[in-house]
Amino acid sequence: MLDSLITSKTRIKLILKLFLNPDTSSHLRGLATEFGESTNAVRVELNRLAEADLLESNKEGRNIYYRANTRHMLYPEINTIVKKYLGLDQIIEEIIKKLGDIDLALISGDYAQGIDSGLIDLIIVGNIDKNYLQQLEEKAEKIIKRKIRTLVINTHEFEQLKSKFEKDKILVLWKKEYSME
């Protein structure tokens, strides 16, 4: 779907990586290596997105790091489109509606870093029906054509693991008046 709208596959990869998680930043050579693209192809698309003010850049030593411009008026919409493209919005809605008492839902691993590896690591904090979760996982995997790996923990377990989660890149999908601070 997104490839019908945006014809540059490199631009799609950049948008997916940088707009899924606003904390993600990368430099030209790192992106070219990760995408398996030439540095010139990545440079052209980075320049186009930066000229449109959709990306911010920051020079660190010899490298220029790029990240999504979260102050751009289109950032929320692009972020939503990326989540819909990846199917994350469908997963979240189904889980929240039918699973039980959820305090927090997080994405960790590759997707939290903006990498579409085909494996979504989902962490759910709360008291839920695990059998129903497994049914939802199977359905969602068919819809989004990606594997979902879940970890279900209670609030006490989350508090014990919180420092590990703070060190790793995570993406908060949903929270019920719950703070990681």
Q: Is residue 144 part of a domain?
A: yes
Mean of pLDDT values over 95-113? 82
The string of pLDDT tens digits covering residues 36-95 is 899 999 999 999 999 999 999 999 999 999 999 999 999 989 988 888 777 766 666 666
Mean of pLDDT values over 152-160? 91
Of 95, 56, 70, nearest to 176 by C-alpha is 95
Q: How far apart are the first and last CA of the chain?
A: 37
Least confident of 7-16, 28-37, 104-113, 166-175: 166-175
Is 179 in contact with 126 (CB distance < 8 Å)?
no
Q: Is residue 139 part of a domain?
A: yes
Least confident of 9-13, 28-32, 96-100: 96-100
Instruction: Report which residue type is found at 148.
Output: I
Is 22 in contact with 169 (CB distance < 8 Å)?
no
Same-domain pairing of 100 and 73: no
Share of the chain above pLDDT 70, in %: 88
Residues with Cβ < 8 Å from 56, sequence gap 6 or more? Answer: 50, 66, 67, 68, 69
Same-domain pairing of 16 and 69: yes
Rounded distance between C-alpha atoms, residue 123 and residue 168, angstroms: 13
Q: What pLDDT is attached to residue 7?
A: 67
Final residue of a structural domain among 14, 43, 77: 77
Same-domain pairing of 63 and 143: no
Same-domain pairing of 96 and 158: yes
Q: What pLDDT is attached to residue 74?
A: 93
Q: Is residue 145 very low, low, confident or very high in pLDDT (cuts 50, 70, 90)? A: confident
Domain range for 16: 2-77
Number of domains in the chain: 2
Q: Is residue 178 very low, low, confident or very high in pLDDT (cuts 50, 70, 90)? A: very low
User: CATH number, domain at 10?
Assistant: 1.10.10.10
Rounded distance between C-alpha atoms, residue 31 and residue 76, angstroms: 23
Give the chain's mean pLDDT: 84
Is 50 in contact with 36 (CB distance < 8 Å)?
no
Same-domain pairing of 67 and 105: no
Q: Is residue 180 part of a domain?
A: no
Rounded distance between C-alpha atoms, residue 151 and residue 125, angstroms: 8
